Chains A and B, each alone.
Chain A
Amino acid sequence: MIVELGHFALALAFVVALVQTVVPLAGAHWRRADWMAVAETAATTQFLLIAFAFAALTWAFVTSDFSLAVVVANSHTLKPMIYKISGVWGNHEGSLLLWVLILALFGACAAWFGGNLPPTLRARVLGVQGSIGVAFLAFTLFTSNPFLRLAIPPMDGQDLNPLLQDPGLAFHPPFLYLGYVGLSMAFSFAVAALLEGRVDAAWGRWVRPWTLAAWVFLTIGIGLGSWWAYYELGWGGFWFWDPVENASFMPWLIGAALLHSAIVVEKREALKSWTILLAILAFGFSLIGTFIVRSGVITSVHAFANDPERGVFILLILAVFVGGSLTLFAARAGIMEAKGVFSMVSRESALVVNNLLLAVATFVVFVGTIWPLLAELLFDRKLSVGAPFFNAAFTPFMLILAVVLPLGAILPWKRAQLGRSLAAIWGAGALALALAGLVWAMQTGRSAMGPIGVALGGWLVFGALADLWLRTGRGALAGRLGRLTRLPRADWGKATAHSGLGIVMFAIAGIYAWEREDIRVVQVGETFAMAPYDITLVDVERVQGPNYISTMATMRVTRDGAEVALLRPEKRVYPVKAMPTTEAAIDYGFWRDIYLVIGDPQDGGGWAVRSYIKPFANWLWAGCVMMALGGLISLTDRRYRVAAGARRAPAAVPAE
């Protein structure tokens, strides 16, 4: 019964989304306030209905209702409760329901917190958001309905893919979707502004928090996925340039560009058409990502249900939304006349360079991702484009970005003098170079990657600190320290996020440059050296888990006789899916991770053991967290809160 109600609610949500699209857009066109007012109610209703449908599906998973096809294919009575819940979105149908739930949530948030928007703009934003809802609800209902019943329910389910039975993966998709789908708000704002025929500083200020929020979620989602790959796959890889990873990375890059160009719109009323274009493209890449994940056209290792019919449907959605918005964009380009005037050397120009580099980097990832498809279609060549290509073709643009970033970040608006700005932060650069030189001297005879990583990472971090310090102005030390605490949150957010990027770059270089690996056969009781540690294989035993059987090794890591860690790497077999997984044991450390993997028993006795020392691995995740945190700090900046609270408490608006 609950399942049927959920199904019904989903169908009803589709109708509500239709209303939310048609009535407010028509109302905005003919200036009918009562029609426009429908948007708010519709957005809330649509969200509540989808939330109910989602709750109904969750209920089916929690109670192991095996009359539902989706539950049978992805659940099992013995599965721990948390994975019964995360199993809801661990499959195509359920994840799509989560997709539309988040879409409706963003729409509802725009309705709840959009009180300060002009009524026509708000109606149009909600209308466009509603139309995306129509498309995806139709997709869900007609091609991927999670509420399909089975005529003869089996006694038990087929279990969730064991690799997905992991806390990291329980939270990775929701965050990614919050990011992907969040970019739909930027899209809706862009299309609404085109319909409205007006793009101004206020628009820049409204669109930015939504983009920022989406980007923060995307950062967390990508970071979680990368971390999961690191500890779960058994060799500590964290990024594979897989098409599906690229699918999440492209919106992230474009989103980052959009964040920065929206600043120029907000502060200087320039780059308007470019920003609108980026907003369209950012969501376009989200849709392309959805297409790549769910169509199976490009071979990826992320298997979702691959169904040509679904692929065609998404392609259709993509064509309608991106094609339609680009047509509208071309028709309305004339209205977006720039106002701000600035010289060649200025913050505006620096942000143009930022956008150019991010856009080119995205383009490289895009071409690399679809090239196998194009080459086969156009030139009849069956070829692969893998990590070596992306490392060679993508990295240079990021390196250039890192080199110019700290300087660009401190250039004054409108008109800057390169010499003066350089003089202000030469210390940060010198410090970074000195540090790199020191590392270079210490590591004699290894690749240049480590020192380069140190130099760039240091330059970004010290540059961000210098930026904060410069913002405090001139005068006595005490005064400047005092002003430091009173800087706008946006300044702190910027410094945090930029430092995070530096730390990520450093960590990636560090891991690749200084990682050590050891593969060998070890007898139980044997000790082997991996300087400066000694590692002993103490014991290997069979352990029965809740829904798996584990081969668990106990390994002691010592340094100069003192115990550093007792680690238990495992190999698990999940009988229901007949699928093995490796569970590496990791001793997380500030400077390095010790990463141990137990392999197979060998014919001559003993076990294959793989040990890694991964330097600075934790810095990578810390850097991701800092980038996300920087975004969050910016999001709490006063100017957004003032804007958000404007309607409810007009008295609180200060006369600036």
Chain B
Amino acid sequence: MRALILALMLAATPLTAPPALAVQPDEILADPALESRAREISKGLRCLVCRNENIDDSNAELARDLRLLVRERLVAGDTDAQVVDFVVARYGEYVLLNPTGRGSNWILWYAGPAMLLGGLAVAGLYLRRRSRTPEATATPLTEAERQRLDELMRS
């Protein structure tokens, strides 16, 4: 669905040179182990000129450059983490689709678990109270409801 914007972007490219489609045959590394590492890393890097798309799926020229860069670093013997650090050093934190836990990002990562714990506590208290209160008596019918009931019973 992100293709809407993607398509708008593609529209800017002239028809004579149709855009490349994601990973091209000529990009693939000969070593399958290295290539699969490259694919994994690519899935976590954002295509900077696209909207919310990783470079592995993107058709943009810049994404291709980044894919080639990742493969270059891998061939040069970098570890996965080194490759990612290299790209982040160049393009900033924005390029990471998987945000780090550093700095204020701890809020992002711990928001869910914190809410679960808080929710469990509240729910636990509620359930405890529910299991101890005596059953409330039914509220009496209002006059209108009594009339309607009579009506239903008669028919």
Contact = CB atoms under 8 A, between A and B. Distances in A.
A343 B131 contact: yes
Nearest to A271: B126
Interface in B124-139: 126-128, 130-131, 133-136, 138-139
A388 B11 contact: no
Interface of B: 1-8, 10-11, 15, 18-26, 28, 43-44, 46, 50-54, 57, 92-99, 103-105, 107-109, 111-112, 115-116, 119-120, 123, 126-128, 130-131, 133-136, 138-139, 144-145, 151-152, 155
Contacts of A302: 1-2, 4-5
Given A383-B99, A577-B11, A301 B2 contact: yes
Contacts of B138: 339
A602 to B, nearest CB: 7
A341 B3 CA distance: 52
Nearest to A352: B123
Nearest to A655: B153
A260 to B, nearest CB: 14
Contacts of A229: 1, 3
Contacts of B4: 161, 163-164, 301-303
Given A228-B1, A237-B57, A388-B98, A303 B8 contact: yes
Contact of B155 (A244, A245, A352, A651): A651
A344 B131 CA distance: 6
26 contacts: A164-B4, A200-B139, A225-B1, A240-B53, A299-B51, A301-B1, A301-B3, A301-B5, A302-B4, A341-B135, A356-B123, A359-B115, A378-B104, A381-B93, A383-B93, A384-B97, A388-B44, A389-B99, A394-B112, A578-B11, A579-B7, A579-B10, A582-B21, A599-B24, A602-B26, A651-B155
Nearest to B151: A650
Contacts of B107: 367
A375 B3 contact: no
A597 B21 CA distance: 10
Contacts of A339: 135-136, 138
Given A388-B43, A651-B155, A521 B15 contact: no
A235 B57 contact: yes
B51 to A, nearest CB: 4
A302 B52 CA distance: 10
Given A240-B2, A579-B11, A235 B99 contact: no
A337 interface: yes
A344 B127 contact: yes
A397 B50 CA distance: 30
A338 B107 CA distance: 34
Nearest to B129: A338
A306 to B, nearest CB: 10
Given A388-B44, A397-B116, A608 B108 contact: no
B131 A341 contact: yes
A654 B107 CA distance: 55
B147 to A, nearest CB: 12
Contacts of B51: 299-301
B50 to A, nearest CB: 7
A301 B43 CA distance: 17
> Which residue of B2, B4, B151 has the most chain A CB atoms within 10 A of its CB atom?
B2
A589 interface: no
B39 to A, nearest CB: 9
Nearest to B97: A386
A247 to B, nearest CB: 11
Those 3 A-B pairs whose CB atoms lie nearest each other, nearest first: A301-B2, A386-B97, A388-B98
Given A242-B1, A353-B123, 18 more contacts: A228-B1, A234-B22, A235-B57, A243-B52, A299-B52, A301-B51, A302-B2, A302-B5, A341-B130, A348-B130, A360-B115, A381-B93, A389-B98, A519-B23, A520-B25, A580-B19, A650-B152, A653-B152
Nearest to A364: B112
Contacts of B120: 356
A475 interface: no
A161 B7 contact: yes
Contacts of A397: 112, 116
Contacts of A349: 127
Contacts of B151: 650
A64 B12 CA distance: 26
Given A303-B8, A382-B93, A342 B130 contact: yes
A127 interface: no
> Which residue of B57, B112, B119, B120 has the most chain A CB atoms within 10 A of its CB atom?
B112
A270 interface: yes
Contacts of A582: 21
A379 to B, nearest CB: 5
Contacts of A332: none
Interface string A298-335: 01111100000000000000000000000000000000
B2 A235 contact: no
B140 to A, nearest CB: 12
Nearest to B48: A384
A340 B138 CA distance: 10
Given A352-B126, A520-B25, A580-B18, A342 B46 contact: no
A384 B135 contact: no
A432 to B, nearest CB: 25
Interface in A187-240: 200, 225, 228-229, 232-235, 237, 240
A35 interface: no
A367 B113 CA distance: 12
A600 interface: yes
Nearest to A653: B152
A14 to B, nearest CB: 30
A243 B1 CA distance: 11
Contacts of A556: none
A379 B102 CA distance: 12
Contact of B15 (A243, A353, A573, A653): A573
Given A353-B123, A602-B25, A384 B99 contact: yes
Given A163-B7, A364-B111, A385-B99, A519 B1 contact: no
Contacts of A610: 21-22
Nearest to B128: A344
Nearest to A551: B18
Contacts of B3: 163, 229, 232-233, 301
Contacts of A8: none
Contacts of B25: 519-521, 602, 608
Contacts of A387: 43, 54, 97
